[in-house]
Chains A and B, each alone.
Chain A
Amino acid sequence: MIRHRRLLLAVAGSRRGGLRVGIDLMSVEAVEESIRVHAGRYLRRVYTSRELRDCATSGGVPDARRLAARFAAKEAAMKVLRAGDEPLPWQTIGVRADRFGRPAIELTGAAGELARRRGIEALDVSLTHEGPFAAAVVVAQVCDER
Chain B
Amino acid sequence: MSADTRTVIRSVLREHARLPVDIDTLGDDADLFAAGMTSHASVNLMLALEDAFDIEFPDRMLTRGVFDSVSAIAAAIAELSGDGEPSATGGGA
B64 surroundings in chain A (CB, below 8 A): 84-85
Give the residues from 37 to 71 in chain B that come closer than 8 angstroms, CB to CB, to chain A: 38-41, 43-44, 46-48, 59-65
Minimum CB–CB distance for A115 against chain B, Å: 17
Decide yes or no whether B18 CB sits under 8 A from chain A. yes
What is the number of residues of chain B that contact chain A, defined by CB distance less than 8 Å? 19
B88 surroundings in chain A (CB, below 8 A): 85
Please tell me which one of the listed residues B40, B47, B59, B63 contacts residue A30 in the complex, with CB atoms under 8 A apart.
Answer: B40
Interface SS, B side: helix
The residue on A at minimum CB distance from B15 is A37
Minimum CB–CB distance for A125 against chain B, Å: 17
Decide yes or no whether A4 CB sits under 8 A from chain B. no
Among the 9-residue stretches A14-22, A41-49, A94-102, the one with 4 or more Cβ atoms under 8 Å from chain B is A41-49
Q: How many A-B residue pairs have CB under 8 A?
A: 48
Known: A26-B40, A31-B40. Contact between A42 and B47, CB under 8 A?
yes
Tier of interface size on chain A = 20 to 34
Decide yes or no whether A113 CB sits under 8 A from chain B. no
CA distance A33 to B60 in the complex (A): 26
Known: A34-B40, A71-B40, A75-B39. Contact between A87 and B61, CB under 8 A?
yes
A30 surroundings in chain B (CB, below 8 A): 18, 38, 40-41
Judge whether A45 and B47 touch: CB under 8 Å: yes
CA distance A90 to B67 in the complex (A): 15
B44 surroundings in chain A (CB, below 8 A): 33-34, 37-38, 42
A: residues with CB less than 8 A from B are 26-27, 30-31, 33-34, 37-38, 41-42, 45-46, 71, 75, 78, 84-90, 110
25 cross-chain CB contacts under 8 A: A26-B40, A27-B40, A30-B40, A34-B43, A37-B16, A37-B44, A38-B44, A38-B48, A41-B47, A42-B43, A42-B44, A45-B43, A45-B47, A75-B39, A75-B40, A85-B63, A86-B63, A87-B59, A87-B62, A87-B63, A88-B62, A88-B63, A89-B62, A90-B43, A90-B62
B: residues with CB less than 8 A from A are 16, 18, 38-41, 43-44, 46-48, 59-65, 88
